[in-house]
Amino acid sequence: MRIKSLAIAAFTLAGLAVPASASAVTYIGSGSVAAQPVLQALFKTYTKEINPNVHFVYTANGGNAGVKDVQNGTSQFAGNARTPLPSDAGTTYIKMFMDGLCLDVNKANTLTDISIQQTHDIYRGLLTNWSQVGGSLTTTIDPVGRDTNGGTYNFFLQAVLNNEAPASNVNALTADGLVVNAVKQDPNAIGYAGLAWQGSKKMHALKINGIPCEAKKISVEPLKYPLSRYLFMVLPGDGTQSPKGLLKFIDWMRTSKRAGEVISKAGGVPAFNKKK
Amino acid sequence: MEEEFTPEYGPKWSDQRVERILGALVCGVVGLLLAMIVTVFIRGWPSFSHNGLSWFAPGGNVDDQLNEIFLSGQSGAEYVYTFHAWPLIWSTILITGGAVCLALVAALFVAVFIVEFAPDWMSNILQPVVRFLASVPSVIYGLIGVVVLVPFIGNDLVTEHQKASVAGVISLTGYSLLAAVTVLTIMIAPLMVSIFSDGLRSVKPGWLEGSLALGVNRWRTTWKIGVRSARPAIIAGTVLAVARAIGEAVMLAMLSGSVGFAPNPADGLIFIYEPSRPLAPTIIKNIDQLSSPPGSATLFSIATVLLFSAATFSFAGYIARRAMKKYGAA
């Protein structure tokens, strides 16, 4: 009797695990945390408006981990926020859309403008007091950054720190959300985070070399805003062996007007999408 | 003459079958454990063989060393293994030791109160609450720490003068020993309370009644007879708590700070505000480097040290419990 009911329960569970419709496909991806908000919005729109039979699962485990997943076949695609490295052999990078890395300070800080050099010096431990940078504060700077797992970290390392390691007084946190949280809570903090994280009243983004961190300033070419970057889709091989449905989605994401709207709304900057 | 026992129903050999199946399961579990220890040790071995005992010694900046190790894995040049883990070990000792000492005292008094002094209705409430607290996932404690405790320490306790005195070396932002120890204490104390109170409850009632009958007051009876006989349980609870504290990674990665810095008690009060990074969170924060051979060896060597210290503590606890068996309650 008990065995029978157990068997029934097992069958029911197995039934639940099978996707509702047989023709539906699910593409599995992983990678960049920075790309996640935009990608999730794109996935949702695509499944809802374009092809209800295509579903996506995306695990935001960090850009570098995502590339590894593609290399060893656990993911069919990965999001990444940095340009290819020699260790990414066997993968293809496709530009998806753009993102700007903003430098954020707490709302208590009246500073509005900062240069790349100053940012470099803060994160290298050379400038330690806000009075050396400007603004109203005369307190010690609390620089906040990402740990080495993030594509955001790599981008910041390349774009600001000239590949020099951050100083020991930089507090390296495990997620972009934690960086934003730290800046919101600490009047003396400075941190970096993508456009999708902006818009809170408890912190504000600084102009870099006089250019504000806004979507409309992060144009495609030439890259005027110093901390603008492409977010990449990483595919295995030369990118042509991937499933047709996935390639179709990528094409839609890169070119259609609707995808452009979704990207802007989710905090990214469309790079190639048709304007109308 | 001895009679052979024959069960009234069911096949004769059913108990033998159970014995074999359970035996196989136990062997499987032990084998799995051994395989895990061996794998971790073998994969971590290159790091130990390159550094020898200086693996455990201070020397240089541990974060720079980790960085060098990881870069050497990416560039394809000769692998670098130099790694002196002392700041990470020291941080583990400080945070685990501090939390276990605080939790031991607190948990002992709470357990005594629940078992001996609290009215029934109160211990009926406290008991399940403590059990529940002991099973709360650590990431929840971490979140509360990040949102509540860290800003409080960083903005209200640390003074500007203290921050300026270490500017450029470390940031006193609230991610600190104090935050880590406080939350870890709150995390492991319920575990200790529930094991301690089980121990106190299993003290033979006759011993306590005898003491009370001799006119010894309740507090003294509890302290001298109850707590003394429950010592094996107290040790068991403490060992479990130490093991959980050493292995705690997620919560500490969120609260302890991210620098491989060895907080120095000689610095004075400021010492408890200093950030550090214990061994387990170091693995989490660098998990990305698992694919680089020297990086993976270094991470696995850290894992080996964690495994061995946990094993040592549970063995030491076992020895101590055996030595105290004569005091009664298990």
Using CB atoms, pick whichever of B74, B154, B168 lies closest to residue A87: B74
Average pLDDT of the residues in B113-128: 91
> Strand A77-80 to strand A228-236: parallel, antiparallel, or no bridges (unpaired)?
antiparallel
Structure confidence by residue, pLDDT tens digits, A163-180: 888 888 898 888 888 899
* Residue A268 · residue A195 · CB < 8 Å: yes
* Residue A225 · residue A208 · CB < 8 Å: yes
Say yes or no to pLDDT of B45 above 90: yes
pLDDT band at A8 (very low <50, low <70, confident <90, very high): low
Q: Is the dihedral of CA B276, B279, B285, B286 positive or negative?
A: positive
Using CB atoms, pick whichever of B168, B174, B175 lies closest to residue A128: B168
* Residue A174 · residue B253 · CB < 8 Å: yes
Say yes or no to pLDDT of A22 above 60: no
Exposure class string for A151-176: b at 16+ Cβ within 10 A, else e: bbbbbbbebbbeeebbbbbbbbbbbb
Structure confidence by residue, pLDDT tens digits, B266-284: 888 888 999 999 999 999 8
By 3-state DSSP, what share of chain B in percent is helix, strand and coil, each rounded to 5?
A: 75, 0, 25
A189 and B CB contact within 8 Å: yes
CB contact (8 A) between residue B285 and residue A147 = yes
* Residue A255 · residue A273 · CB < 8 Å: yes
**Contacts B282 to A, Cβ<8 Å:** none
Using CB atoms, pick whichever of B155, B254, B261 lies closest to residue A168: B261
Structure confidence by residue, pLDDT tens digits, A149-165: 777 887 888 888 888 88
Say yes or no to pLDDT of A260 above 50: yes
Find the length of chain A.
276
Residue A3 is predicted with a pLDDT of 57
Query: Can you tell me the distance from the alpha carbon of A80 to that of A86, in angstroms, rounded to the nearest whole number?
Result: 15
Average pLDDT of the residues in A60-79: 88
Average pLDDT of the residues in B150-174: 86
Nearest to A99 by CA among A227, A236, A254, A238: A227
Structure confidence by residue, pLDDT tens digits, A194-207: 887 888 889 988 88
Q: 């990086």: which residue's tokens?
A: B295
H-type alpha helices, A36-194: 36-45, 63-71, 116-123, 151-159, 176-185
CB contact (8 A) between residue B171 and residue A85 = no
A170 and B CB contact within 8 Å: yes
ω into residue A222 within 30 of 0, thus cis?
yes
Say yes or no to pLDDT of B161 above 90: no
Query: Can you tell me the distance from the alpha carbon of A183 to that of A173, in angstroms, rounded to the nearest whole number?
Result: 12
Structure confidence by residue, pLDDT tens digits, B225-263: 899 888 888 998 999 899 889 988 889 988 998 888 888
CB contact (8 A) between residue A171 and residue B164 = no
Average pLDDT of the residues in A199-220: 81
Query: Can you tell me the distance from the alpha carbon of A42 to that of A77, in angstroms, rounded to the nearest whole number?
Result: 14
Query: Can you tell me the distance from the alpha carbon of B74 to that of B79, in angstroms, rounded to the nearest whole number?
Result: 9
> Strand A77-80 to strand A207-208: parallel, antiparallel, or no bridges (unpaired)?
unpaired
**Contacts B175 to A, Cβ<8 Å:** 171
Structure confidence by residue, pLDDT tens digits, B58-105: 888 888 888 888 878 766 678 888 899 999 999 999 999 999 999 999
The CA-based dihedral angle spanning residues B146, A173, B254, B166, taken in that order and rounded to the nearest 10 degrees: -80
pLDDT band at B6 (very low <50, low <70, confident <90, very high): low
pLDDT band at B317 (very low <50, low <70, confident <90, very high): confident
Say yes or no to pLDDT of B300 above 90: yes
Query: Can you tell me the distance from the alpha carbon of A33 to that of A154, in angstroms, rounded to the nearest whole number?
Result: 13
Residue B330 is predicted with a pLDDT of 47
**ipTM > 0.95 for the complex:** no
**Contacts B176 to A, Cβ<8 Å:** none
Beta bridge partners of A94: A233
**Contacts B288 to A, Cβ<8 Å:** 62, 64-65, 148-149
Using CB atoms, pick whichever of B154, B174, B288 lies closest to residue A65: B288
Average pLDDT of the residues in B291-317: 90
For residue A269, give both structure tokens.
Answer: 């900057």
